[in-house]
Amino acid sequence: MDLRDNEPEVITNMMVFLYFTGLLILAAATAYGSWQLRRRYLVKRFVKDYYGQWTATPKKFKVLLVFPTLIRNDGRPVKQLFLLLPGITGAVLAALTPAHWDIEIVFETIEKIPFDTDADLIAVSGMGVGLWQGIKIAKEFKARGKQVVMGGLMASLIPKYILENGADAVCVGDAEGVWEKILRDFEQGQMKGIYNGTESASLSWPLPRYDLIARKRIGFVMPVFAGRGCPHSCDFCSIAAHYHGQYCRRSTEEVIRDIKAVKRLGFKRILLVDDNIAADPAHAIELFSEIKKLDVQWVSQCALYIADKPGMLEAAVHSGCLTLSFGLETVNQASLSSINKLFVKVEDYEKCLETIREAGIDTATEMVLGIDGDDPGVFDRTADFIIRNRVALPKFYILTPIPGTPLYERLRQENRIIDHDFTNYNASQVVFQPLQMGPDELDRGYWRLYEKVFTIPMIFKRVLGSPIKLSLFSRLLILFINLHYRRYVRKRIAPGML
């Protein structure tokens, strides 16, 4: 038979396919467009109800808050069309800003940085390695004659380095109580040096300026801050180094106030920002029972021992918890002990994950490769563990000695730091000499592990094979995030930005 006999049929099929794809794209664009229009209306109402006084106050100064993006291993910045999960830091700083200051927030991941801004002051944050990009941005603004203040957890660990590298001032620790002083000093031409922020066990702040982020190209999840810090002291962890084994949290009333506000903006899915939402069990149960009344769905992160506390687990499920992320670190007990993570045992991991899933909560994990107990077999063992346990969202990091942590000091004393350029400290490059393999072996094993776990069949096995009952929307969202991570892995970008 001549193949050309089939041509009309092939052309018809293609046209039908294109027609339906076009319809789908149109439907998605219309849905997103109307969601954005509604959001605009809700933002207007939100500002009127909560920030009427701020709007009415004449502005004398303007601050531009810049949130740098991640940098790929090839040096290029990560850019996205949408930010599925916007950060809350800008909204918090904005809420703490006096009413006579105008505020603009820029997320570099989805927006261009306006280097020709009319802002009087530039405030640059930066999460982990985002700080190195932040330093570059700060230098660019300095070259244009602007004054720059920097802050954030990473900047707080190395404030002198930040000052030596271009910033006029740096905020160490939390901005509450000190941000207003920084701005006052700026107004008087005296902003300079290190400002020490608060580090109290309880946190309280005004309602974050959610309106300033809700207008952007963001997804369906809004962050609400619950607590930070952690009662443990794993030696590689910057949280432990920063908060010295202390867990600080906001009151239930404040968290609930913020969730209600976020709901008024149309968001029913929430990231409860916390390093360990299970750190204070009595408080967690109280918080969950209040959240339950609000009919929202939430995700967060916590220690695995939530599995041993059935009351807390149940309260979490009933309050709408969809997914919890666990820092498992390693499947190797010798490695776990060597980083001083002593409150869990690797042999208990599977049972705990099963209990959590049986309760109805999906799991995400964070693991570290290259710890002293790790031999070259660790990559395959880790991949098997992730796939066997149907972990919905796994993330991996190469062990990185963050300055300020005990791990950094130990590796420095042992002369095992082989790369002193902090810009490479992004947890996906090897900057130290591993104990049981070469740096190249660690690098290759790390990406091989990512590739193995993020093949299409493995994604389907982990996401669709999960026994948890999730809504179609949540399941598709997890699938989408997996495909997004897979795309990143193929480009050799460690998944991190959402």
Q: Which residues bind ligand SF4 (CB under 6 A)?
A: 230, 232-234, 237, 239-240, 275-276, 303, 327, 341
Quickly list DSSP for 32-47. Answer: HHHHHHHHHHHHHHHH
The phi and psi torsions of 65 (rounded to 5 degrees) equal -100, 120
| Given 94, 105, 113, 273, the residue binding ligand B12 (CB under 6 A) | 273
Tokens of 313: 């687990």
Q: Which is nearer to ligand B12, 318 or 403 (CB)?
A: 403
Sequence-ordered alpha helix ranges (H) in 128-197: 130-143, 153-157, 159-164, 179-187
For the segment 92-151, give every residue that binds ligand B12 (CB under 6 A).
92-93, 123, 125, 127-130, 149-151
| Comparison of 135 and 356: residue with beta carbon closer to ligand SF4 | 356
Taken as a whole, the chain contains a residue count of 498
* Among positions 287, 324, 442, 497, the unique one binding ligand B12 when judged by CB under 6 A: 497
Strand partners, 121: 63, 147
Which span sits near ligand B12 by CB under 6 A: 42-50, 85-93, 253-261, 316-324? 85-93
User: At a CB cut-off of 8 Å and minimum separation 6, what does 157 contact?
Assistant: 238, 241, 242, 402, 403, 404, 405
Q: Which residue has the tokens 């300079």?
A: 192
Is residue 209 at the binding interface for ligand B12, with CB under 6 A as the rule? no
How is 405-448 classified by DSSP, letter by letter? SHHHHHHHHTT-B----GGG-SSSS--B--SSS-HHHHHHHHHH
Contacted entry of ligand SF4, ligand B12, none for residue 233, CB cut-off 5 to 8 Å set by kind: ligand SF4
DSSP state, 476? Answer: H
Contact partner at residue 234 from ligand B12, ligand SF4, none, CB < 5 to 8 Å by partner kind: ligand SF4
Q: Which stretch binds ligand B12 (CB under 6 A): 28-36, 40-48, 173-181, 247-255?
A: 173-181
Minimum CB separation from ligand B12 for residue 254, in Å?
13
In the complex, the smallest distance separating the C-beta of residue 324 from ligand SF4, rounded to whole angstroms, is: 13
Q: Which of residues 458-477 bind ligand B12 (CB under 6 A)?
A: none
Number of residue whose CB is nearest ligand B12: 496
Is the CA virtual torsion 460, 461, 465, 470 positive or negative? negative
User: Quick check: 86 binds ligand B12 (CB under 6 A)?
Assistant: yes
In Å, how far are 68, 82, 89, 486, 491 from 78, measured between CA atoms?
10, 12, 19, 15, 11
Tell me if 240 sits within 8 A of 230, measured CB to CB: yes
When binding is defined by CB under 6 A, the residue of 106, 226, 470, 494 that contacts ligand B12 is: 494
240 binds, among ligand SF4, ligand B12, none (CB under 5 to 8 A by kind): ligand SF4
* CB 127, min distance to ligand SF4, A: 15
Interaction partner, residue 494 (ligand B12, ligand SF4, none; CB < 5-8 Å by kind): ligand B12
Binding residue for ligand B12 (CB under 6 A) from 97, 147, 165, 238? Answer: 238
Interactions with ligand B12, residue window 383-402 (CB under 6 A): 402
> Which distant-in-sequence residues (6+ apart) come within 8 Å of 255 by Cβ?
224, 225, 226, 272, 287, 290, 291
Question: What does the alpha-carbon distance between residue 153 and residue 390 come to, in Å, rounded to a whole number?
Answer: 32
C-alpha–C-alpha distance, residues 397 and 128, integer Å? 12
**Among 209, 228, 249, 357, interactor with ligand B12 by CB under 6 A:** 228
Binding site for ligand B12 (CB under 6 A): 69-70, 83, 85-89, 92-93, 123, 125, 127-130, 149-154, 171, 174-176, 179, 225, 228, 238-239, 273, 275, 402, 427, 494, 496-498
